[in-house]
Amino acid sequence: MSDDQPHRPDTPLLDRIAGPADLKSLSDAQLTQLAHELRAETVSAVSETGGHLGAGLGVVELTVALHAVFEAPRDKIIWDVSHQSYPHKILTGRRDRMRTLRQKDGLSGFTKRSESAHDPFGAAHSSTSISAALGFAVARDLGGAIPEGTGDSIAVIGDGAMSAGMAFEAMNNAGHLGKRMIVILNDNEMSIAPPVGALSAYLSRLYAEKPFQDLKAAAKGAVSLLPGPFREGAKRAKDMLKGMAMGGTLFEALGFTYLGPIDGHDMDQLLPILRAIRARATGPVLLHVLTTKGKGYAPAERADDGGHATARFDVLTGKQKKAPSNAPSYTSVFGETLARLAAADDRICAVTAAMPDGTGLKLMAERFPSRCFDVGIAEQHGVTFSAALAAGGMRPFCAMYSTFLQRGYDQVVHDVALQGLPVRFAIDRAGLVGADGATHAGSFDIGYLSSLPGMVVMAAADEAELVHMVATAAAHDDGPIAFRYPRGEGVGVELPETPEPLEIGKGRIVAQGGRVAILSFGTRLAEVRKAAESLAVRGINPTIADARFAKPLDEAMILKLAEDHEALITIEEGSVGGFGSQVAQLLADRGVFDHGLKFRSMVLPDQFIDQAGPAEMYDAAGLNAAQIEARVLDVLDVAAITGRRA
């Protein structure tokens, strides 16, 4: 930890904190000490579980100050995205469960309403907090009744999240309504990747225009304005707040009183200003706070991403304890293949929404910076931008996580599919994703893309197939095309030397058998193979097919499988309404069910699955080898013969 931390008392202050109310009895000096202890506790907990580290370390002082000044849960503190919420969880009665973070039956890595009354609004996607804070403010003024009541609503939003249009839509509405609410802009010049765009430059100008010393003096002077009694309180507080506002800012034009910027690690600034805002604010207020991501933990501060996310690590060195893998990640396979193809085709370009590393585009950005675009946290814009790139003669790859592409769905429909534009959607984090849980699961893209006319939808069964699908997308100029792949490492197959385009709408037979055919779409193919090995012991040898395409379907292959087998089972890493539904529609249209085919579709269940290890999540979903084997036995009614029901 940092050398400048004060000496710890014999009894740590953190041990005396059961909830936010306990902060009210601490002096400002003790609150500063508590912040140091809270930072150490956060590092210690995350070192054992892994998770989002840097963002939480950057808001330790702000978290302490908010809970010291405001009265949660009556006052609603809403953490945008909420990967910075670990210190908040520690102070709100969950310290004893922090070592269960992001694990099965443990604490969520994000805020979650069902977890605590101190989490008034769940989040894991960005830029929702201002809308939520305004909703709470309006509900309060309309007399909405909830057990703990509703006081102030405070949105804590990062500068990266402010690049999303939704944040400005909310601010525009809030300024119009004029409700008392507070937005804290946590400006650390770092969301997950370095911030991009004109807004980032604008914020830099704001904090370059006024010396910190003046603001610090104003903040300390505000102490005399606060209760007991107010003396000239009303007038002087108003003058102080007015004096700190920068005239003519964008935020003021939207109807907010703008304050700052202030040092978000200096409690002598944070506490008096928050107290003054709480005592005197009448309408919407934006407080601009400057912080450092990863603050106080040297390995995080040195990291390019501020220690954003980490596996378990050694506290002293910061070195991660993640076991090495012999297989490359799907993400890296995509990124390397795309960069290779881009070297041979100067029409290939790439678009990502604030996730160049997460989507594998870092290599593309390094080699071809003029053809790689990070649009910020702005999926809607990213999709339409890609559409126009395609209309302009380029071959754009729009690389987004499945869970984030949902945010740009209207643009996928209206700007891409309706116009038949050849945008290539590279969809990472398909299926269940492990520790990030339900908020980041790629459960719905098969269904929401396969329903669109003219859309081609592929899923890679392994990393070699992914190489070919990237090439297929690059060569496809006849309308939009999408390919999906999961988080994590591949299965260890040999990668092809030359990426080769696949025939659109053509699947493959992996193993020829009889009685039952298993038609897999995506990486459950490995589990299908395991199930087949167990079934072979019983004398059952299923035919195994890799669909490759959910749209267009390989109709000839599917109808042949239905004709030659008494049962057909589809399996996919997606929700109902996806690949299996497309196959069922085909079979129904062709009258196949009229002739007695037994058909089953294995999909993700109709529920959100909480965080756990990937294997545990797929076990809960019923999509692992044992459940596939059981489904085969059930559909063939083998249990009566073997003497047991699987």
Instruction: Tell me which residues are annotated as active site.
Output: 293, 379, 407
Q: Shortest CA distance to 207 belongs to which of 244, 232, 167, 257? A: 244
* Per-position b or e across 485-513, b if 16+ CB within 10 A of its CB: bbbbbbeeeebeeebeebebbebeebeeb
- Let me know: does 63 contact 38? Beta carbons within 8 Å: yes
Q: Shortest CA distance to 171 belongs to which of 69, 11, 285? A: 285
Q: Which two tokens stand for residue 7?
A: 């000496």
* Per-position b or e across 575-586, b if 16+ CB within 10 A of its CB: beebbbbbbbeb
Q: How many other C-beta atoms lie within 10 A of the C-beta of residue 464?
A: 17
- Residue 161, marked binder: yes
Q: Shortest CA distance to 629 belongs to which of 511, 544, 522, 502? A: 544
Q: Shortest CA distance to 111 belongs to which of 136, 130, 134, 94? A: 94
Q: Which residue has the tokens 């995350």?
A: 46
- Residue 308, marked binder: no
Q: Shortest CA distance to 50 belongs to which of 316, 275, 311? A: 311
DSSP string computed for 551-583: ES--HHHHHHHHHH-SEEEEEESS-TTSHHHHH
Q: How far is CA 599 from CA 45, 311, 580, 624, in A?
A: 48, 42, 10, 19
Q: How far apart are CA 436 and CA 513, in angstroms?
A: 38
- Residue 188, marked binder: yes
- Residue 353, marked binder: no
Q: How far apart are CA 240 and CA 232, in angstroms?
A: 12
Q: Which two tokens stand for residue 426?
A: 């590279």
- Residue 187, marked binder: no
DSSP string computed for 63-117: HHHHHHHS-TTTSEEEESS-TT-HHHHIIIIIGGGGGGTTSTTS--SS--TTT-T
Q: How far apart are CA 287 and CA 277, in angstroms?
A: 9
- Residue 420, marked binder: no
Q: Shortest CA distance to 259 belongs to which of 227, 284, 293? A: 284
User: How is residue 638 annotated by DSSP?
Assistant: -
Q: What phi and psi, each to the nearest 5 degrees, are found at residue 532?
A: -65, -35
- Residue 159, marked binder: yes
- Residue 124, marked binder: yes
- Residue 409, marked binder: no
Q: How far apart are CA 301 and CA 568, in angstroms?
A: 54
* Run of H or E including 509: strand 508-511
**Strand 516-521 with 543-546, pairing:** parallel
- Let me know: does 633 contact 537? Beta carbons within 8 Å: no
The binding site consists of: 83, 124-126, 159-161, 188, 297, 379
Residues at the binding site for thiamine diphosphate are: 83, 124-126, 160-161, 188, 297, 379
- Which residue positions form the known binding site for Mg(2+)? 159, 188
